[in-house]
Structure 1
Amino acid sequence: MLEKLKFLSEKYQDLNKKISDPEIISNTKQWQKYVKEHAELEPIVAKYSEYEDANKQLDDAKEMLKDKLEDDFKEMVKQEVVELTEKIESLQEEIKLMLIPKDPNDEKNVILEIRAGAGGDEAGIFAGDLFRMYTRYAERNRWKVEMMNSNEQGVGGFKEVIVMIKGKGAYSRLKFESGVHRVQRIPATESGGRIHTSTATVAVLPEVDDVEIEIKPSEVRVDVYRSSGNGGQSVNTTDSAVRLTHIPTGIVVAMQDEKSQLKNKDKAFKVLKARLYEKYQSEQNAEIAQARKSQVGTGDRSAKIRTYNFPQGRISDHRINMTIYKLDAFLDGDIDEMIDALITTDQAEKLKSVER
């Protein structure tokens, strides 16, 4: 840990010089990059300086105890040693938390995709339940929810629904929701009272800036067609629906909720960029994830992460072995307790790597 701190302190001093260099100041983009890095390092370097000062004071106090001192003064120095030792331990813990690598996506908006999985109509109804749960959670946090695309099913619920959630820290709170969610309940149409199991898949993607992902027009096939389902007067009368196919990866995105072809195209490109970003990030992190798998899980969409059991009124998260018995409130968006536990577990795992 101390080696990391010394390295960061040296880097901070180097950035100090760079942001004062007239040649770098003239290059606005480069200068802003260094200023951002400098600001991120400042609190860690300040805490490290405080830690070093406390260690120096402790060494001085211990040296004083080697001398012949009057009893009253000796007791005072002993008390100072105790206090400084406690302070150093406390500062070490604070520094460890500050050294946990920051997720660059944490402050971004979210593209949330929910799809019905196994279980027929029940899976679609459950996808609708999850959609309402996340919408209510967004409302509680005063985040804005913008519908991007939906494919409703006849008996209620969705085959697929994609929304944009805009708000500070949205990705940091929702990123551990990716995966397969499972529901166990007795369907309204089940006369025998048997419990059915259905699933829905959730994907949480950070909104991607144009700078982060560049898509060449030659790599995308754009198809337009007539919308189907709910959508007002333009349904089946104009070619407003848009389908994008990213040729190198085979990723397909379709949008039809807007009456305007341009708006559908714009939304489709946002989703395509987010999916490509996720794909490239996953590939880059594959080796790291293999070497040190987070206890919270990889966020893999195929991983079963949580069960919602209606007869018992419980929600169980299988990654952290946590069960909560307040199903109605949970589905009404009261999910902070679970999210906080997931974040805490993730931080604990990352702390282990800091301490190595």
Structure 2
Amino acid sequence: MKKTSLIKKFEVFEKEFHEISNSIIETNIYNNHNQYKTLLKKYKRLEKIVHIYDEYKKKLSSLQEANSLLKTDSDPEMKEIAFLEKKKILEDLSFIEKKSHHLFFSNKKEKKTEDYRNAIMELRSGTGGNEACLFVEDVLRMYVLYFKQVGWKYEIIHAQKGGSNKGYKEIILDVRNNSRSTSPTVNNEKKEVYGNLKFESGVHRVQRIPETESQGRVHTSAITVAVLPEVEDIDVNINLSDIKKETFRSSGAGGQHVNKTESAVRLTHIPSKITVECQEGRSQHKNFEKAMNVLRSRIYQNEKEKRLKERSIKRKCLISTGDRSVKIRTYNYPKSRVTDHRIHKSIYDLIGFMNGNIQKMIDLLKSFENKS
């Protein structure tokens, strides 16, 4: 790593350290236990980096002095001392550079821990009417078969059927890693629920002949997929006073109990206007917990997307930012082809892909992201 590049990295961490140092003593932060605990942990990690940076700057200053002596001093003894001193300083600088590289790498690794979180997956019909609703159901089946391959569990949090009760207008899933799985296909990477599924966020387009099409014309429809990392209370601070809670009777299947009691829950986060519904469980309390889980994830994702936009992330990095307006993939049934537009890769096995064999495409996307 070049010295100028290393110094720039140090300066970024130093700036962040001073910002946290100032904010951590504010009363509203100190009184918020979860936020204070998170910032304190970050402060301690950055403090180590700043101390190393201070030492690095001292060594660079000493190196400059040694170089100056070697150039200007005519005394052979002083030159010998300066030469030995320079050699020692260069060894120290090399050690600090290696140590700092390890620290920076550890920091990246820490960020990657988000990939190991469970995920909330939302599928919604877009353009195409009933055909889009049917494709939501097809894509849902594709993901469910994939979950079985990698040993994950899923639970439906909310579902809204399409027109004429065919397909889905919207369906939300809670997807979890089954750590007790003994399947030989479950390697360490496949424990990354969010780390694998985050690449699925965006617009999925389908080109095929609908069942209702009498003249055999190919129609184009679209659905949107959003994948959010599951978050905990410590990640997102939500005041209950900011939440409007409504209960109502479930409109879906589920027997007399579900349909005759107000077990369904609708939560609205007033500041962000985000609304979440859950009506799949028999218990209002359980539905409230599930809805809160989705709400936290959506608020977290909103904040994350704002930060990414503020940093002016390049378009190629949208591969894993979850931008739902980007057309990411086309499923062409007449040509039995699946094309991912972000990496310009096609797989000519649509049937296999729709039967859950999507890991190859995910691996290609991961490889592209790591190179970016």
Using the size of structure 1 for normalisation, the TM-score is 0.71
Corresponding residue of 2:209: 186
Contact 2:198 2:320 in 1 (8 A): no
> What 5-or-longer segments of structure 1 have no aligned partner?
12-28, 42-90, 350-356
Give matches, 1:270-349, under 5 Å.
270-290=293-313, 293-294=316-317, 296=319, 298-349=321-372
CA distance in 2, matches of 1:322, 1:157: 28
Q: 1:197 aligns with which of 212, 220, 223?
A: 220
CA distance in 1, matches of 2:128, 2:232: 36
Give matches, 1:60-139, under 5 Å.
101=108, 102-139=111-148
CA distance in 1, matches of 2:140, 2:211: 20
Displacement after TM superposition at 1:236 (Å): 3.5
Change in CA separation of 1:174 and 1:134 when aligned onto 2, cut-off 3 Å: same
- Amino acid in the other structure paired with 1:218: S
Change in CA separation of 1:340 and 1:98 when aligned onto 2, cut-off 3 Å: farther
CA distance in 2, matches of 1:110, 1:268: 14
- Amino acid in the other structure paired with 2:116: E
Displacement after TM superposition at 1:312 (Å): 0.5
- Amino acid in the other structure paired with 2:112: D
Change in CA separation of 1:294 and 1:341 when aligned onto 2, cut-off 3 Å: same
Identity level (%) = 46
Give matches, 1:229-244, under 5 Å.
229-244=252-267
CA distance in 2, matches of 1:286, 1:151: 32
CA distance in 1, matches of 2:313, 2:366: 20
Contact 2:316 2:342 in 1 (8 A): no
Corresponding residue of 1:157: 167
The structure 1 segments of at least 4 consecutive aligned residues displaced by more than 6 Å after TM superposition are: 4-8
- Amino acid in the other structure paired with 1:152: K
> What 5-or-longer segments of structure 2 have no aligned partner?
14-36, 50-97, 178-190
Change in CA separation of 1:173 and 1:259 when aligned onto 2, cut-off 3 Å: same
Corresponding residue of 1:250: 273
Change in CA separation of 1:176 and 1:262 when aligned onto 2, cut-off 3 Å: same
Change in CA separation of 1:179 and 1:194 when aligned onto 2, cut-off 3 Å: same
Displacement after TM superposition at 1:223 (Å): 0.6
Change in CA separation of 1:329 and 1:274 when aligned onto 2, cut-off 3 Å: same
Contact 1:121 1:155 in 2 (8 A): no
Using the size of structure 2 for normalisation, the TM-score is 0.68
- Amino acid in the other structure paired with 1:148: I
- State how many pairs are aligned: 276
2:165 paired with 1:142: no
Change in CA separation of 1:227 and 1:247 when aligned onto 2, cut-off 3 Å: same
Contact 1:295 1:345 in 2 (8 A): no
> RMSD between aligned alpha carbons?
3.0
Secondary structure at 2:260 match in 1: coil
- Amino acid in the other structure paired with 1:117: G
CA distance in 2, matches of 1:138, 1:149: 18
- Amino acid in the other structure paired with 1:162: I
CA distance in 2, matches of 1:315, 1:321: 10
Corresponding residue of 2:79: none
Corresponding residue of 2:24: none
Displacement after TM superposition at 1:292 (Å): 6.9
